[in-house]
Protein backbone atom coordinates (compact mmCIF):
# COMPACT_ATOMS: atom_id res chain seq x y z
CA UNK A 1 0.00 0.00 0.00
CA UNK A 2 1.19 3.50 -0.84
CA UNK A 3 2.33 5.31 2.33
CA UNK A 4 1.00 8.83 2.57
CA UNK A 5 2.79 12.08 3.36
CA UNK A 6 1.04 15.03 4.99
CA UNK A 7 2.79 18.40 4.70
CA UNK A 8 1.66 21.10 7.13
CA UNK A 9 3.14 24.43 6.10
CA UNK A 10 3.22 27.68 4.17
CA UNK A 11 2.15 28.78 0.68
CA UNK A 12 3.64 31.89 -0.92
CA UNK A 13 3.78 33.52 -4.30
CA UNK A 14 7.41 34.31 -5.07
CA UNK A 15 8.39 37.52 -6.88
CA UNK A 16 11.94 36.83 -8.02
CA UNK A 17 14.51 39.20 -9.54
CA UNK A 18 17.81 37.75 -10.71
CA UNK A 19 20.74 40.18 -10.83
CA UNK A 20 24.51 40.04 -11.31
CA UNK A 21 24.83 40.80 -7.58
CA UNK A 22 22.52 41.57 -4.67
CA UNK A 23 21.93 45.31 -4.01
CA UNK A 24 23.47 46.90 -0.91
CA UNK A 25 21.17 48.63 1.63
CA UNK A 26 19.95 51.89 0.06
CA UNK A 27 21.19 50.95 -3.42
CA UNK A 28 19.06 50.59 -6.60
CA UNK A 29 20.32 48.17 -9.24
CA UNK A 30 18.91 48.00 -12.78
CA UNK A 31 19.06 45.18 -15.29
CA UNK A 32 17.35 42.31 -13.47
CA UNK A 33 15.10 39.58 -14.87
CA UNK A 34 11.71 39.03 -13.22
CA UNK A 35 9.94 35.72 -12.53
CA UNK A 36 6.72 35.16 -10.60
CA UNK A 37 6.15 31.58 -9.50
CA UNK A 38 4.55 29.66 -6.62
CA UNK A 39 6.70 29.15 -3.54
CA UNK A 40 6.53 28.84 0.25
CA UNK A 41 8.51 26.19 2.06
CA UNK A 42 5.47 24.07 2.88
CA UNK A 43 4.02 24.11 -0.62
CA UNK A 44 7.46 23.65 -2.20
CA UNK A 45 8.06 20.52 -0.11
CA UNK A 46 4.58 19.19 -0.90
CA UNK A 47 5.01 19.80 -4.64
CA UNK A 48 8.52 18.30 -4.61
CA UNK A 49 7.22 15.17 -2.88
CA UNK A 50 4.27 14.87 -5.29
CA UNK A 51 6.42 15.31 -8.42
CA UNK A 52 8.84 12.70 -7.09
CA UNK A 53 6.03 10.16 -6.76
CA UNK A 54 4.67 10.69 -3.23
CA UNK A 55 1.02 10.58 -2.25
CA UNK A 56 0.72 14.02 -0.66
CA UNK A 57 -1.86 16.01 1.30
CA UNK A 58 -1.15 19.69 2.03
CA UNK A 59 -2.54 21.42 5.13
CA UNK A 60 -2.10 25.17 4.67
CA UNK A 61 -3.83 28.55 4.49
CA UNK A 62 -4.09 31.13 1.71
CA UNK A 63 -6.08 34.34 1.27
CA UNK A 64 -9.18 34.71 -0.90
CA UNK A 65 -7.12 36.62 -3.50
CA UNK A 66 -6.03 35.37 -6.96
CA UNK A 67 -2.59 34.36 -5.61
CA UNK A 68 -4.28 31.87 -3.30
CA UNK A 69 -6.72 30.42 -5.83
CA UNK A 70 -4.01 30.09 -8.50
CA UNK A 71 -1.69 28.35 -6.03
CA UNK A 72 -4.39 25.82 -5.08
CA UNK A 73 -5.06 25.06 -8.77
CA UNK A 74 -1.36 24.44 -9.32
CA UNK A 75 -1.01 22.14 -6.31
CA UNK A 76 -4.01 20.15 -7.51
CA UNK A 77 -2.47 19.92 -11.00
CA UNK A 78 0.59 18.34 -9.35
CA UNK A 79 -1.67 15.68 -7.83
CA UNK A 80 -1.74 17.03 -4.27
CA UNK A 81 -4.82 16.55 -2.10
CA UNK A 82 -5.80 20.20 -1.48
CA UNK A 83 -8.93 19.60 0.61
CA UNK A 84 -7.18 21.06 3.67
CA UNK A 85 -5.73 24.16 2.02
CA UNK A 86 -8.01 26.63 3.80
CA UNK A 87 -8.89 30.11 2.61
CA UNK A 88 -8.81 33.03 5.03
CA UNK A 89 -11.08 35.99 4.17
CA UNK A 90 -9.25 38.29 6.63
CA UNK A 91 -5.62 37.92 5.51
CA UNK A 92 -3.86 37.98 2.13
CA UNK A 93 -1.95 35.05 0.68
CA UNK A 94 1.73 34.89 1.60
CA UNK A 95 4.21 36.65 -0.68
CA UNK A 96 8.00 36.34 -0.86
CA UNK A 97 10.33 38.88 -2.47
CA UNK A 98 13.47 37.09 -3.61
CA UNK A 99 16.70 38.37 -5.13
CA UNK A 100 19.15 35.95 -6.71
CA UNK A 101 22.73 36.74 -7.76
CA UNK A 102 24.82 35.27 -10.57
CA UNK A 103 26.27 32.64 -8.21
CA UNK A 104 22.77 31.34 -7.42
CA UNK A 105 22.77 32.80 -3.88
CA UNK A 106 19.55 34.44 -2.75
CA UNK A 107 18.01 36.63 -0.09
CA UNK A 108 14.33 36.34 0.76
CA UNK A 109 11.80 38.57 2.55
CA UNK A 110 8.41 37.03 3.35
CA UNK A 111 5.06 38.69 4.12
CA UNK A 112 3.41 35.69 5.78
CA UNK A 113 -0.22 36.84 5.50
CA UNK A 114 -2.60 33.89 5.93
CA UNK A 115 0.28 31.50 6.74
CA UNK A 116 0.60 33.20 10.14
CA UNK A 117 -3.02 32.23 10.87
CA UNK A 118 -2.86 28.48 10.30
CA UNK A 119 -4.17 27.24 13.63
CA UNK A 120 -4.65 24.03 15.58
CA UNK A 121 -8.34 24.25 14.61
CA UNK A 122 -7.37 24.10 10.92
CA UNK A 123 -5.22 21.09 11.74
CA UNK A 124 -8.14 19.42 13.53
CA UNK A 125 -10.12 19.54 10.27
CA UNK A 126 -7.29 17.53 8.71
CA UNK A 127 -7.03 14.98 11.54
CA UNK A 128 -8.33 12.21 9.29
CA UNK A 129 -5.57 12.87 6.75
CA UNK A 130 -2.93 12.89 9.49
CA UNK A 131 -4.35 9.66 10.92
CA UNK A 132 -3.94 7.90 7.58
CA UNK A 133 -0.43 9.26 6.91
CA UNK A 134 2.92 7.56 7.44
CA UNK A 135 4.96 10.78 7.53
CA UNK A 136 4.10 14.32 8.64
CA UNK A 137 6.49 16.97 7.30
CA UNK A 138 6.68 20.57 8.61
CA UNK A 139 8.78 23.73 8.45
CA UNK A 140 8.71 26.98 10.47
CA UNK A 141 6.81 29.43 8.22
CA UNK A 142 3.58 28.81 10.17
CA UNK A 143 2.99 29.53 13.88
CA UNK A 144 5.28 27.50 16.13
CA UNK A 145 2.33 26.63 18.36
CA UNK A 146 0.68 24.93 15.36
CA UNK A 147 3.87 23.02 14.57
CA UNK A 148 4.03 21.85 18.20
CA UNK A 149 0.40 20.76 18.13
CA UNK A 150 0.80 18.79 14.90
CA UNK A 151 4.00 17.13 16.14
CA UNK A 152 2.26 16.11 19.34
CA UNK A 153 -0.84 14.58 17.76
CA UNK A 154 1.12 12.95 14.94
CA UNK A 155 3.68 11.40 17.30
CA UNK A 156 0.88 10.19 19.62
CA UNK A 157 -0.60 8.26 16.72
CA UNK A 158 2.75 6.74 15.71
CA UNK A 159 3.56 8.88 12.66
CA UNK A 160 7.10 9.78 11.60
CA UNK A 161 7.36 13.51 12.29
CA UNK A 162 9.93 15.29 10.11
CA UNK A 163 10.81 18.94 10.74
CA UNK A 164 12.81 21.28 8.53
CA UNK A 165 13.55 24.13 11.00
CA UNK A 166 13.51 26.86 8.34
CA UNK A 167 13.62 29.74 8.85
CA UNK A 168 15.64 29.06 12.03
CA UNK A 169 13.93 29.69 15.34
CA UNK A 170 14.66 28.45 18.90
CA UNK A 171 12.67 25.26 19.51
CA UNK A 172 11.42 23.79 22.81
CA UNK A 173 12.68 20.33 23.77
CA UNK A 174 9.04 19.20 24.08
CA UNK A 175 8.83 19.64 20.28
CA UNK A 176 12.25 18.12 19.55
CA UNK A 177 11.29 14.98 21.51
CA UNK A 178 8.43 14.38 19.07
CA UNK A 179 10.69 14.41 16.01
CA UNK A 180 11.74 11.28 14.16
CA UNK A 181 13.94 13.41 11.92
CA UNK A 182 15.26 16.97 11.86
CA UNK A 183 16.60 18.15 8.47
CA UNK A 184 18.59 21.37 8.96
CA UNK A 185 21.13 23.32 6.94
CA UNK A 186 24.41 24.40 8.52
CA UNK A 187 23.22 27.75 9.88
CA UNK A 188 20.00 26.24 11.27
CA UNK A 189 21.97 23.42 12.91
CA UNK A 190 24.39 25.96 14.38
CA UNK A 191 21.58 28.09 15.81
CA UNK A 192 19.67 25.13 17.25
CA UNK A 193 22.68 23.33 18.72
CA UNK A 194 24.82 26.31 19.74
CA UNK A 195 27.83 24.58 18.09
CA UNK A 196 29.69 26.77 15.56
CA UNK A 197 30.00 24.63 12.43
CA UNK A 198 33.51 24.81 11.02
CA UNK A 199 34.31 21.23 9.95
CA UNK A 200 32.88 17.68 9.93
CA UNK A 201 33.79 17.18 13.56
CA UNK A 202 31.65 20.16 14.57
CA UNK A 203 28.82 18.93 12.30
CA UNK A 204 28.87 15.63 14.18
CA UNK A 205 28.91 17.43 17.54
CA UNK A 206 25.92 19.56 16.48
CA UNK A 207 23.97 16.39 15.68
CA UNK A 208 24.94 14.95 19.09
CA UNK A 209 23.57 18.05 20.84
CA UNK A 210 20.33 17.92 18.85
CA UNK A 211 19.85 14.23 19.65
CA UNK A 212 20.63 14.90 23.34
CA UNK A 213 17.78 17.44 23.25
CA UNK A 214 15.42 14.67 22.10
CA UNK A 215 15.47 14.41 18.29
CA UNK A 216 15.71 10.76 17.18
CA UNK A 217 17.71 11.31 13.95
CA UNK A 218 19.33 14.33 12.30
CA UNK A 219 20.36 15.20 8.75
CA UNK A 220 22.47 18.31 8.18
CA UNK A 221 22.59 19.48 4.57
CA UNK A 222 25.95 20.85 3.43
CA UNK A 223 25.12 22.25 -0.02
CA UNK A 224 27.52 21.05 -2.70
CA UNK A 225 29.43 19.09 0.01
CA UNK A 226 26.47 16.74 0.43
CA UNK A 227 24.85 15.84 3.74
CA UNK A 228 25.65 14.42 7.17
CA UNK A 229 23.41 11.86 8.84
CA UNK A 230 23.19 10.85 12.49
CA UNK A 231 20.91 7.83 12.69
CA UNK A 232 20.52 5.67 15.81
CA UNK A 233 23.81 7.09 17.11
CA UNK A 234 25.78 6.25 13.92
CA UNK A 235 27.25 8.85 11.56
CA UNK A 236 27.28 8.76 7.75
CA UNK A 237 28.54 11.39 5.35
CA UNK A 238 26.97 11.48 1.88
CA UNK A 239 28.97 13.23 -0.86
CA UNK A 240 27.44 16.13 -2.79
CA UNK A 241 26.68 16.55 -6.49
CA UNK A 242 28.74 19.03 -8.49
CA UNK A 243 26.46 21.15 -10.68
CA UNK A 244 26.44 24.69 -12.04
CA UNK A 245 24.22 26.61 -9.58
CA UNK A 246 21.71 28.99 -11.13
CA UNK A 247 19.40 29.52 -8.13
CA UNK A 248 19.55 27.76 -4.75
CA UNK A 249 15.91 28.67 -3.93
CA UNK A 250 13.91 25.58 -2.88
CA UNK A 251 16.91 23.22 -3.01
CA UNK A 252 16.40 22.52 0.70
CA UNK A 253 12.67 22.08 0.10
CA UNK A 254 13.34 19.57 -2.67
CA UNK A 255 15.69 17.70 -0.35
CA UNK A 256 13.05 17.46 2.42
CA UNK A 257 10.28 16.37 0.06
CA UNK A 258 12.57 13.78 -1.53
CA UNK A 259 13.71 12.31 1.80
CA UNK A 260 10.06 11.82 2.78
CA UNK A 261 9.15 10.17 -0.53
CA UNK A 262 12.03 7.72 -0.23
CA UNK A 263 11.19 6.93 3.42
CA UNK A 264 7.53 6.42 2.44
CA UNK A 265 8.75 3.93 -0.17
CA UNK A 266 10.53 1.98 2.57
CA UNK A 267 14.09 3.08 1.75
CA UNK A 268 16.67 3.52 4.52
CA UNK A 269 17.54 7.03 5.70
CA UNK A 270 20.93 6.80 3.98
CA UNK A 271 19.31 5.79 0.66
CA UNK A 272 16.74 8.56 1.14
CA UNK A 273 19.48 11.19 1.61
CA UNK A 274 21.39 9.97 -1.47
CA UNK A 275 18.18 10.26 -3.51
CA UNK A 276 17.40 13.70 -2.03
CA UNK A 277 20.90 14.96 -2.90
CA UNK A 278 20.35 14.04 -6.55
CA UNK A 279 16.93 15.73 -6.58
CA UNK A 280 18.15 18.95 -4.90
CA UNK A 281 21.07 19.16 -7.34
CA UNK A 282 18.55 19.41 -10.20
CA UNK A 283 16.65 22.22 -8.43
CA UNK A 284 19.74 24.44 -8.09
CA UNK A 285 20.33 24.33 -11.86
CA UNK A 286 16.99 26.08 -12.54
CA UNK A 287 15.36 29.39 -11.63
CA UNK A 288 12.60 29.78 -9.07
CA UNK A 289 10.94 27.64 -6.43
CA UNK A 290 8.14 25.41 -7.77
CA UNK A 291 9.25 26.24 -11.33
CA UNK A 292 12.51 24.40 -10.55
CA UNK A 293 11.29 21.29 -8.70
CA UNK A 294 12.15 18.04 -10.51
CA UNK A 295 9.88 15.19 -11.60
CA UNK A 296 10.77 11.58 -10.78
CA UNK A 297 11.53 10.84 -14.42
CA UNK A 298 14.37 13.41 -14.31
CA UNK A 299 16.14 11.80 -11.35
CA UNK A 300 18.65 9.03 -11.99
CA UNK A 301 18.44 5.87 -9.88
In the complex, the smallest distance separating the C-beta of residue 104 from ligand RIB, rounded to whole angstroms, is 13
Q: Is 136 in the site for ligand RIB (CB under 6 A)?
A: no
In the complex, the smallest distance separating the C-beta of residue 212 from ligand RIB, rounded to whole angstroms, is 28
Q: Is 40 in the site for ligand RIB (CB under 6 A)?
A: yes
Could you give the CA distance from residue 9 to residue 213 in angstroms, rounded to a whole number?
Answer: 24
Give the residue, chosen from 141, 186, 188, 247, that forms a contact with ligand RIB under the rule CB under 6 A: 141
**Cβ nearer to ligand RIB, comparing 11 with 160:** 11
Give the x/- contact pattern for ligand RIB in 161-200, rule: CB under 6 A: ----------------------------------------
Give the residue, chosen from 249, 254, 277, 283, that forms a contact with ligand RIB under the rule CB under 6 A: 249
Q: Is 108 in the site for ligand RIB (CB under 6 A)?
A: yes
In the complex, the smallest distance separating the C-beta of residue 275 from ligand RIB, rounded to whole angstroms, is 19
Q: Is 14 in the site for ligand RIB (CB under 6 A)?
A: yes
Residue nearest to ligand RIB (CB): 39
Could you give the CA distance from residue 200 to residue 227 in angstroms, rounded to a whole number?
Answer: 10
What burial letters (b/e) apply to 193-216, b meaning 16+ CB within 10 Å?
bebebeeeebbbebbbebbebbbb
Region of 37-45, 76-84, 144-152, 153-161 interacting with ligand RIB (CB under 6 A): 37-45
**Cβ nearer to ligand RIB, comparing 113 with 252:** 252
Q: Which residues are catalytic?
A: 253
Rg of the chain (C-alpha set)? 18
Region of 40-48, 57-65, 180-188, 261-269 interacting with ligand RIB (CB under 6 A): 40-48
**Cβ nearer to ligand RIB, comparing 110 with 279:** 110
**Cβ nearer to ligand RIB, comparing 44 with 86:** 44
Q: Is 7 in the site for ligand RIB (CB under 6 A)?
A: no
Could you give the CA distance from residue 69 to residue 192 in angstroms, rounded to a whole number?
Answer: 35
Could you give the CA distance from residue 290 to residue 250 in angstroms, rounded to a whole number?
Answer: 8
Residues at the site binding ligand RIB, with contacts judged by CB under 6 A: 10, 12, 14, 39-41, 44, 96, 108, 110, 141, 249-250, 252-253, 289
Amino acid sequence: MEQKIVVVGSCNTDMVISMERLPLPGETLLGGQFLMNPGGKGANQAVAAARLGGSVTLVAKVGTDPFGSRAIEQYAADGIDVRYVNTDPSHPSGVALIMVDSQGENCIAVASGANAHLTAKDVDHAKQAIASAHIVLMQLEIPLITVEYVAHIARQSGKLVVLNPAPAHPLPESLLRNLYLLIANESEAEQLSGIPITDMDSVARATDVLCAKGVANVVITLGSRGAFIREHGCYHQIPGQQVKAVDATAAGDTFCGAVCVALAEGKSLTEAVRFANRCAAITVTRMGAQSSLPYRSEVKG
